[in-house]
A and B are shown apart, each in its own frame.
Chain A
Amino acid sequence: MSTREAQSEGLPVSAQPPLLQIENLTKVFHIRQGFASQDFHAVDNASIVIDSDKPEIFAVVGESGSGKTTLAKMVLGMESSSEGILRYKNRVINDISRKEMRSWFYREVQPVFQDPFAAFSPLKRIDSYLYETAQNYKMVADKKEAPRYINEVLSAVGLTLAEIAGRYPNELSGGQAQRVAIARALITKPSLIVADEPVSMLDASLRMSIVNMFRKLKEDNNVSVIYITHDLATAYYTGDRIAVMLRGWIVEMGPTERVLGNPLHPYTQNLKSSIPSIKSEEAWDEKVDLAVIETDEYTRIGCKFAGRCPAVMDICHDNVPPSVMHEGRSVKCFLYDDAVDAEKKRMLMPAAL
């Protein structure tokens, strides 16, 4: 079964065009060392569909250097794609350099970044970002109307204009600044927010307030969210569907409860068992192998996880595994490929975690 068939099978069929359609998207970077040049695929053949009839939170998880941010940047038009097609509401958005295209696209799709203090200039009052966005995108007819509209948007993130008016970013806590960043993204009434590690700079206690807010935005404001993170626990908590990335590949994708509740790919199993548990009886007893050098895994010929996989087979070293549908999600692994000898697989199948 091809990747595309696999994906279309796992999704509900809808009459409306999908909100976002990512088809076989690839990004190739060239590394030069002296005269030698090497290609490496930061994102390799990724296909994701986000439907428009029901808002959802789509989580993308993976280690650092797995291509999650490159994927987000391509969706946001901040990085060009090498191959593949990006469609938003049935319009191709691989190139959004035309002005009217840009203003349409950024009205619909808005980013939220990792570090709110890096996103706002320390020399500008933080509310000026809200006023500017509202005016640039003509969300308000005139200046007098702006405070009322901004206050309305801020209330969606649990703030009021009075709390932040005239203040500089350093006067706000990390959680508040991140809320303002999200409010700024909401000004244009987008249908999709791409949030790249929005909580990794925040404390555990503040994390939950931001993550709860994404859930609320989905329900109250009909906003879909692509939630990029390395934190599996919050991904499980918020995500309706999840894609697990490894060195540019999507190795497992499907409903969050299935993928993280019963992970099939050995890499997802490895990820899940590495979450530190606060229950004393669940402390780790076995050791975990780590990648030494990230580019070594990127340039591997066969499966990129073969070097660390506990269930590695001979076939994995030289061949790229296919994406197959298995138990309601797509898995990119030979263990679930019917063409591989069943007897051999049974011996190697890692115990369910």
Chain B
Amino acid sequence: MGTIIETNNLRAYYITKAYGVERTVKAVDDITLRIQEGEVYGIAGESGCGKSTLLRILLGAYQPPLTVVGGEVIYHLEGETMNAADMTEEQQRDMKWRTISYIPQGSMHVLNPVRRIRDTFHDFISAHRDVTKKESFQLTADYLRDLGLPEKVMASYPHQLSGGMRQRVTIALATILWPKLIFADEPTTALDVVVQRGVIQMLKDVQQKEGSTLVLITHDIGVHANLADRIGILYAGKLVEEADTKTILENPRHPYTRYLIESLPSLDSREERLAIPGRPPALDRPPSGCRFHERCPLAQEVCKTIEPALIEIEPKHFTACHVVEEELSRGGEHVYA
């Protein structure tokens, strides 16, 4: 299986100019990703770390002030290799929903409140395929049945459905044309646990049915643990660690990743858990050196000035941290263990 989407040293900044003051927010800074065909790739990080900006660039759905200032996004779809920057608007529009699809966060605001679900589906299908209403209703009914959604959803209005059902209808809508590449932005945030579980199951079903690639963005590590094959951790616009899910959860190396995982409350113990000190930096003036150094318990002099590179510390496990790097070169024990 090959790569389906890749980015090379991608930099995307929000550049605004007001009253002669120029402000640059470095939301995505030097990110290189290789997402494989058929995998579930999870992107995790706090709010304001650039997750959603990265998604917008990958989807090609952005406009000024968000600007790509460096690097490139390359799609390998339907046997063709396309650079996102060279694509015309028609090519992009044709590709969206048919081969690349997107599941938004707030399902409440996605479905048209004055149209029945089946009509929304018809609008959607008929924009890409030449179908009659009868055909699209049939297609929708078959697909919903496949996914285990009840028949009566078709004739309902969005407000009549529960929040979880609405979110699942949105997922069905985004995937009915069998896209090869699906992006999901916080698909379970603000849902309660039982509904969240139902939504995760459905995403898994959809992904496995056609072997689609799913890029999952959420700050909830628990969701990643149950769905993702590989996880990339973003911090302040940088990729700080990347490995398969098991490695990230059981042997995280970057101090930020360790904090993220250790701060999760669980039903195993009621002992006090520490929150990550401080808060994410503002991205218009990111800290020098390692962007995490102000909050990092292991920070050293070198971290304040030199930016750590993303290095492969063991096969397919990448991390960007001076302390980990130094440890490896000494071949010694973990500093924190």
Kindly identify, within residues 231 to 280 of chain A, every residue whose CB is under 8 Å from any CB belonging to chain B: 231-234, 236-237, 257, 260-261, 270-272, 274-280
Residue of B nearest to A276 (CB): B222
Complex CA gap A314/B128 in Å reads: 49
Report if B109 contacts A (CB, 8 A).
no
Given contacts A203-B219, A204-B263, contact A209 B275 (CB under 8 A): yes
Report if A291 contacts B (CB, 8 A).
yes
The interface stretch among A39-47, A80-88, A282-290 is: A282-290
Kindly identify, within residues 223 to 263 of chain B, every residue whose CB is under 8 Å from any CB belonging to chain A: 223, 225-226, 245-246, 249-250, 259-261, 263
Contacts of B165 in A (CB 8 A): 290-293
Contacts of A211 in B (CB 8 A): 265
Complex CA gap A212/B263 in Å reads: 11
Report if B47 contacts A (CB, 8 A).
yes
Residue of B nearest to A234 (CB): B265
Complex CA gap A198/B195 in Å reads: 20
Complex CA gap A272/B193 in Å reads: 8
Contacts of B219 in A (CB 8 A): 203-204
Complex CA gap A230/B266 in Å reads: 14
Contacts of A206 in B (CB 8 A): 46, 275, 279
Residue of B nearest to A290 (CB): B198
Report if B32 contacts A (CB, 8 A).
no
* Minimal beta-carbon separation of B204 from chain A (angstroms): 10
Are A208 and B197 in contact, CB atoms less than 8 angstroms apart? no
Contacts of B274 in A (CB 8 A): 208
Report if A63 contacts B (CB, 8 A).
yes
Report if A302 contacts B (CB, 8 A).
no
* Minimal beta-carbon separation of A213 from chain B (angstroms): 9
Report if B134 contacts A (CB, 8 A).
no
B interface residues, how many (CB within 8 angstroms): 51
Are B259 and A205 in contact, CB atoms less than 8 angstroms apart? yes
Are B222 and A208 in contact, CB atoms less than 8 angstroms apart? no
Report if B152 contacts A (CB, 8 A).
yes
* Minimal beta-carbon separation of B207 from chain A (angstroms): 15
Are B264 and A233 in contact, CB atoms less than 8 angstroms apart? yes
A175, A236, A257 pick with most chain B CB within 10 angstroms: A236
Given contacts A174-B47, A284-B226, A292-B153, contact A271 B193 (CB under 8 A): yes
One of B152, B201, B223, B245 near A292 (C-beta < 8 A): B152
Report if A38 contacts B (CB, 8 A).
no
* Minimal beta-carbon separation of B273 from chain A (angstroms): 6
Q: What is the interface residue range for chain A against chain B?
A: 35 or more
Contacts of A203 in B (CB 8 A): 46-47, 219
Residue of A nearest to B276 (CB): A205
Report if B272 contacts A (CB, 8 A).
yes
One of B162, B223, B225 near A280 (C-beta < 8 A): B225
Complex CA gap A278/B265 in Å reads: 11
A173, A176, A270, A276 pick with most chain B CB within 10 angstroms: A276
* Minimal beta-carbon separation of B167 from chain A (angstroms): 10
Given contacts A205-B276, A208-B265, A292-B165, contact A232 B193 (CB under 8 A): yes
Contacts of A63 in B (CB 8 A): 192, 194-195
Residue of A nearest to B164 (CB): A290
Complex CA gap A211/B265 in Å reads: 10
Report if B85 contacts A (CB, 8 A).
no
Residue of A nearest to B48 (CB): A173
Are B273 and A237 in contact, CB atoms less than 8 angstroms apart? yes
Report if B270 contacts A (CB, 8 A).
yes
Report if B131 contacts A (CB, 8 A).
no
A-B residue pairs in contact (CB < 8 Å), sample of 27: A63-B192, A64-B163, A64-B191, A64-B192, A173-B279, A174-B47, A175-B279, A176-B279, A204-B219, A204-B221, A205-B260, A208-B274, A211-B265, A212-B272, A236-B265, A236-B267, A275-B267, A276-B200, A276-B222, A277-B226, A278-B225, A279-B225, A279-B249, A280-B245, A280-B246, A290-B195, A292-B161
A→B interface (CB under 8 Å)? 62-65, 173-176, 200, 203-209, 211-212, 215, 230-234, 236-237, 257, 260-261, 270-272, 274-280, 283-284, 287-288, 290-294
The 5 closest A-B pairs by CB, nearest first: A276-B222, A209-B275, A208-B275, A230-B192, A233-B265
